[in-house]
Amino acid sequence: MNAATTVPGSPVRSALRAERIKFTTLRSLWITPLVGLLLTVGFTTAVAATLGGKDESITADPGVGVHYGLNFGQAALVCFAVLLFGQEFGTRMIGLSLTAVPQRGRLYGAKLALGAAVALAVGLVGTAGAFAGYAAFVPERWNGPALVRSATAGVLYPVLLVVLCLGLTAALRNLTAAMGLLLPTVFLLSPLLSGVPVVRHGVQFLPDRAGRYALLYRDDPQIAYGHWTGLLIMALWAGAAAWGGLYRLRRQEV
């Protein structure tokens, strides 16, 4: 194999390696997804242990109970995604990163790849742990297509959430603005707007709302699409945000 065939791949590997080193050496970057994992599994297990036999709201649809902890774990994932890119804008270290990796698309792609990989690991372990914690206290038949869909959505939801937040952070180019926008949106916007009759129908197409519908077992007659379509809607939002972040990064000076 000659040099001409090996050189093109080396910049990509170098960019990925640089992002991996940042992730493993900066405490805030690896602690936040770990916290998200612990919250996801811990809250699901705790709620199943204390309310599993008393509260039908978490047992009528097993998807609600199994993924209860994700309501809290996703906050840490949002923080992780924002910090992964936003802190470089906040400390002006983005200039050094672009000096090391002048190709902006390559730098951006490396961050997306790292963020998605970490989120996938959290999704896999978190979903397995949440199912185990729920099943330990709430008897349930763990079979059928609803289980497969709910588990798949539990694994992919963190990945899509991180890609979405990374893209918006790159577009905003400001850590404080991204954190101030994304956390309230994930926790407050959908629940508040769902109670407003005028906009209630449109709220179901927001990314977090659509993604979380895919986690459920039962159909909701008030939702205009199916569970798998909900996951697709969230993926489209994540793809649009990723493209917007790349467009802004390429067009604007840092």
| Tens-digit pLDDT profile for residues 177-202 | 888 888 887 777 777 777 676 677 88
Return the minimum-mean-pLDDT range out of 21-35, 88-102, 152-166: 88-102
Considering the chain, what is the average pLDDT of its residues?
A: 86
Q: What is the pLDDT of residue 2?
A: 39
Q: Which residue has the tokens 């790849």?
A: 113
150-182: pLDDT as tens digits: 999 999 999 999 999 999 999 988 888 888 888
Tell which residue, 133, 129, 132, 127, has the closest CA to residue 150: 127
pTM above 0.85, yes or no: yes
Rg of the chain in Å (alpha carbons): 19
Amino acid present at 196: V
Highest mean pLDDT (candidates 47-61, 74-88, 91-105): 74-88
